[in-house]
Structures are given as structure tokens and as C-alpha cells.
Structure 1
Amino acid sequence: MKEKYSLFWFRRDLRLMDNTALHHAIKSGKRVLCLFIFDTEILDQIEQKNDARLSFIHNQLQKINQQLIILGSRLIVKNGAVLSCFQELSQEYSIANIYANKDYEPFAIARDQLISDYLTSQNLGYHEFKDQVIFEKREITKKDGLPYTVYTPFMKKWKESFCSELTNEYDVKLQKDKFAPLPPMEIPSLESIGFTQSQLSIPEYDLSIETLNNYKLLRDFPARNATSKLGIHLRFGTISVRQAVSKALSGNDQFLNELIWREFFMQILANFPHVATSCFKKKYENIKWRNNEAEFEHWCNGQTGYPLVDAGMRELLATGTMHNRVRMVVASFLCKHLLIDWRWGEAWFANHLLDYEQSSNNGNWQWAAGCGCDAAPYFRIFNPYEQARRFDPKQEYIRKWIPEIDTNKYPKAMVEHKFARQRALDTYSKALKEEVEI
């Protein structure tokens, strides 16, 4: 009789160790096939052919493959529409069950339902597990069972509900007899799927005691190398959230709060899917955005005449990342100073941020625009000059990204701060008044 296998499907969990679904696939008792799919529905939406995220994924797949080769197996890598790839797999291998970790983004939910329906029609088991988060969709709720819509009470309930057992690692026994033996096969090159190797350097994450202990004190100063650089690694799962939380518990509580912010926005997107395209607070859909395309281009290219804003946007273009404090400033500037729809900025960040994650990107942009799940009023408007004075007093960060800052090559401010602030207040106030009158 032909041997049947369990199949583990890599998605946003690019590691062998402490991987929930892989753990369960191995515990099934059948030898495991490991799969990754370059989904053409996703690839077709990526504009830059040297996208550093694709290079990061490809490099990580090669590392995983080398680990599997030592174990006498190989990583199966497909390129195409996901459903078609599974149809091929069902012909190529004798598979009993498929194991995967849950993904909570709307696109992924629809994709996984499609695959689940197909596998069920083929009498194949499809098993999903929680792996991206400590608490998912409806595990942290108010007393009435409804989801939280404000961060602070969510954070407090998260901490009350947390116990150390939740960070116990899923110990995968990496033994040869646990994985299916496969003949040599090549991982498709980036060029073969329509992309090229990026030259951007992606740093390793830093969860050292020194970084965590200094996080609260130094995290707001963009010239300091004081952040964890964890974003892209959590996004693609080269480290598990359990490992990150375990590290945070031994360091400063502020870093743990940032990880909880991530889960807060994930449950917002899961429980209120309309936020993917609309304001969380629907009355803010009445805002009359100016949406000046020329001004948006100046913002995108770091040519607004506001040094801290421009430094952040240039850092993003050059490195694929931006300091967290500066992200708030540039987002507030776009929405409040220029009155450009937050969705324009959200899309720009989605295309350029290495650590782009839909829930966090969406949640933070709506926070900046004042239309999200936040108790703060809409008239919170960052002053970019004051932010620079407080957090980059020696202009170290600004001068790094704007060498021409003191020359006539640097543009004058495209809008005067006091005028822009009042214009934003008037526009928001009018929109909310119209909503009440309606």
C-alpha cells in the first residue's frame, strides 16, 4: 500500500522550530511533507520586481530547505494559483491531511476557505491552528462577550488572561524519520517567478536584555539604534510570537505593550472587517479630503519642506522601514496637514514597508487620521517642528536623510503649520456636524 503523508503548508510561519501546525502534523504519526506556495494572486499585486520582502522569503525558504535536507527530506515549492497547486499536489503525492497555521487577514481567510472546501470535496482533512498570536479574535472580550474597541482595557484584560503556559514552545522533534524522504529538487529562483534579488539589507532582530531594558527610554529617538527590528520577522514568522513575548516578559513592560498593540489591531480587523476599506468610525467618511495628487507626490518623495517628515519618507524609500515615532508624524502630516485620505498613505506604506502587516498598518493609519478605534479626539494633530525638537534635538536623524537641509536645494514648507492645523480642525468639525444633522 502506498504510504500516506501529512502535509504542512508554510505561509506566515517560516521556521521549523516552535511551529504549532508543524508540531501537530508530526504528532499525526505520518511522515510530513513541507510545502510553500508562491501565490500568483499575491505576486501579481507586487509592483517592485526587486521587492525585498520576496528576497527575504526566498532566503528563508533556502534555509528551511537546507534544514530539511539534513533530515532526509526537501521543501516542496510551488508557483501558481493556490487551488491549482493543491490540485497538482493531490495527483503527485498520497496525502491524508493538510496542516496550516491560521491567517487572519481577509484575503487569507477567503483563500483558506476555498482550499478547505476543495480538500473536503477530496475527502482530505484540513486542520488549522493558532500560531500568529497569543490571543485571537474572541479570546479577549468584555464581560458581555463583545470585542474591545479601545486599546487600554484590552491590554489590561490581555495581561489578566495571560499565563506563562501560553508561551510554551511547540517542541518539534527534528528527526529523519519524521519527514517524508524526497528526491533532490530545486527551489524556484526569484527570476523564474518574475522577481529579482533585492539589494536591501534586512537586519536580524534584536531582543537582547540591553535593547529591551532601554526600550521605553530610547524608543522615541530615531537617531538611536534602539528598536528591536522585529517587525518583518514577526510578519513572516521567522520567530514565533511566543518567543517574542517570552523575551518581553524578562525586559521592559513597554515592549510587551507593543506586542499587545499588534494583537489588538489583529482582533479589530477580524471582528470589524469593514475597517479594511472604511473608517472604523463611519461618521468620518464625511470628511472632505483635498486629495491633491501633486502634494501627495511631494509627501511620498520626502519633499514637503518639513524636515522630520521628509527624513522619514526618505528613510522608507531607501531602507523599506521607518522609525515608529516618525511613522506617526508622517501619517498625521498627510491626513491633517494635507487633508489627504488615510487610505492613500496606507497603500503607500503597504507597498514599501518591509514589515507591512494589514491589521497594524490599517489600525495605525486610522489612529493617525482620528477615524479609528481610539478614544482620542480628532483634534490631536502632531506639530512636526515640535516633534523634531523633542526627539531629534541635534538633527542627527534629519541630517542623515536630508544632507541638503541647510542649502537652497531643500524646499520650503509646502503649507504653514498653523494654517494647516486650523484647516484640518474646520474640515473635521464640519464633517462631524453634517453627520449629526443627517
Structure 2
Amino acid sequence: MRKSIFTFILLCLGTYIKAQGFNAHFCDSTLRLNYIFAGDASNYNIFVDELNLEPRWYGRRKHLNELPLKGNGQITVTDYMTNEIIYKHSFSTLFQEWIATAEAKHTGKSFENVFLVPFPKNKIRVKVELYDYHNRIVAQATHIVNPQDILIRRIGFRNVTPYTTIHAAGDTTNCINIAYVAEGYTMEQMDDYINDAKTATDALFSHEPFKSMRDKFNIVAVRSVSEDSGTSEPANNIWRKTALDSHFDTFYSDRYLTTLHLKKLHDLLAGVPYEHIIILVNTDKYGGGGIYNSYNLSYTKGKYFKPVVVHEFGHSFGGLGDEYDYGNDDPMYFSDTEPWEPNLTTKHDFRDKWENLVEEGKAGFVEGGGYQSKGVFRGVENCRMKTNDVPEFCVVCRQALTRLIRFYTE
């Protein structure tokens, strides 16, 4: 007979957790929060969609009520009885990018969003906030989660998508868990996909600080099978049936490769050791995309595969901003607001960024970044976050990534 969620909670209360403070509030399992973010350029809404219980927790077990980066949105989990903040998480979303587009000025749309938090032992209050480009709250929702709720769906306890370990962490109980997901690979192409996953891993670990901190990462490759090979290209009227229904031409930008189906993505990952996601797309058309603490995608069949997958991971894992400028339309950064991205500044509030590197003469202020030619500054002239032709992350990005890895694991 299948155990009830209440029985599962009683069992997990006794689970031994090494990280100090974690077992006071959480079980060694995951609460998956599904939301719908909807609206247009002037109206923003957050709706709870579905709650899921997954077998294990693969996120951080330390610094639970802290954030390394602010992001464009935040989740705050508080104990219902004491109002103590017991977990925080930050993120960015496609929805927030979309509301800045011309289409959002006359059309409303909805976007799926999925977030993972450790499964609570007791009733909690969850608050979700979205911010605009001036760091103002534009949408907020609060809801109560009772861990004994019979409508919390159990997922990932059986029929787990097959996966292969690509790189094992030195300590799998205290590491950063990454999952590759196959997109546009048929069953016959799974060996090719595994080879692409190994190539992406080699590319990642050829860059500092990942190279010297590789034992902090655990990486698996999920064998998600697509009916068709490749991905959709709307501009060319090419539509393919793939595991995640990804496509180019996101927001009518030719090279912007994304998927809108985040629930399907996380369904494929249920029961897999993961927190961060890299989607490998079986196409030779150049493109990709990366969203902080959500996912990134990269094409795999071109000469820039390696630099692109590393660059996009810089976005999705590191929260790094693009350091290039290609026009000043629809600006995302303003002089009255400091970017939360650790490698960009408007000089509005430069604290805790790379001032130490300026003092040491290793970095400075180079104008141009965040797609804007004026008013936004990066630390050095060239970097992996600026161009594919530069082989390394710059000293500013390396420092930011090192700080983030230590936040998760030390």
C-alpha cells in the first residue's frame, strides 16, 4: 500500500542531516512549487499552480536564510508559528523579460515557473516577490503550505528518467548538483548526447574557478528522449516534437533559444539529483539562453558549442550579466539602480562587488555592458561573458563565481 504523505513526513523527521540548522525545519526531501506568472506591461500576477513532493533534497544545507545574489525575484519561506525566516531563494524569469517587450504593451500572457525548496516539517508561509528594473516590487503573493496536505503530489518516487553520472563530487552530501537534459535527441542519438554532455563538462572544467573547484560539483546527464531530432525554428516554419518543445526566435530574437515548458522540464528531472539545469539542444543553428536559477540551453553542433554552454552557465548558475552592448533600445539598467549582477555596475552602489580588485589594480571600470553602451560598466575589457573569442572568465567574474561556489558548499 502506498504510504500517505503524513506517513512520509513522520519517517523523514528522523533523517540525519549533517548541516547545522537544516534538520530543525526541513526533511531530506524537496517541495516543488509550481506557479503561473501572468500579465502584461502594466499588470503582473502570481498564481499558485501545484505543489509536489520529491524524494530527496539536492540544494544547499547552509546559509538557508541568506542570499548570495538578489535576482529579479525572491522566495522567502517562514515558519508559520514563529515567523522565523528559514529559507530564501532568488531567481529570474522569462516572464520578467517578456513584460519589457513591445508585445507586452498590448497583449497579456502567462508563463510557467517552478522553484525548489526543502520540504518543511511544519506548516510554512511562502512569499514570492517580483521586481522591476528599478528594484521595486511589482508583484507579490503569499500562501500557506501544510506539509500534511493530501493534495501535494508525490513525484519522482518511481519511473525516474534514466540518467548517467558524468562527474562525481568529492562529497556528494555537500556539493552543487547539475543535471544535463537532452533536448532534440532521439533514442538512437542518446550516445551522441552523452558525448555532448562530456564535452560540455570538459569545457566547464577548463575554466576557472570551476577547474580548481571541480570536486564541489556533481553532474548527471538525464536521458530525455525526443520524438524528433533537433529543435523548432519558427522563423523558418520548422516545428519539431521534442522532449521540451524548445524553439529559437524567443521574443522574435533569432538566436534566443528557450523552452516555455518548465513543468515538463522538472517532471523529467523528478527523482534525479539536481538543482541547476543545463539543457543540451541537438541543433547546428547557433544560439542559447540562460536564466538565473532557472535553466540554460545551448546548441551543441557548432564550433561555438563549448564557449556558449559555459557562457550560458555563467548566467543560469552565476547570475552574471552580459558584458556586451548591441544597442540601447529597451534599457534594463538605470543610473538610479545598482544591478544585482556581480559583474556589472552603474556605480550607484558599488559595495561588495569588485572594489578590492580595483584597489589591487587588477580591474577597473570599462563603460559598456548589459546591452548598453553608456552608463553601465564592467571590470575589464574582455571576458567570456562578453565574447566567445575570449578563452576565460575575467578576474571579476572568477571572483564572483568563487564566492558563489563557497556560499553553496562552505
Q: Which category of TM-score, normalised to the shorter sequence, fits these structures?
A: under 0.3
Instruction: Flag the structure with higher helix content.
Output: 1
Instruction: Flag the structure with higher strand content.
Output: 2
Higher-Rg member (1/2): 1
Which protein has greater RCO, CA pairs closer than 8 Å, 6+ apart? 1
Q: What TM-score, normalized by structure 1, do the two folds share?
A: 0.26
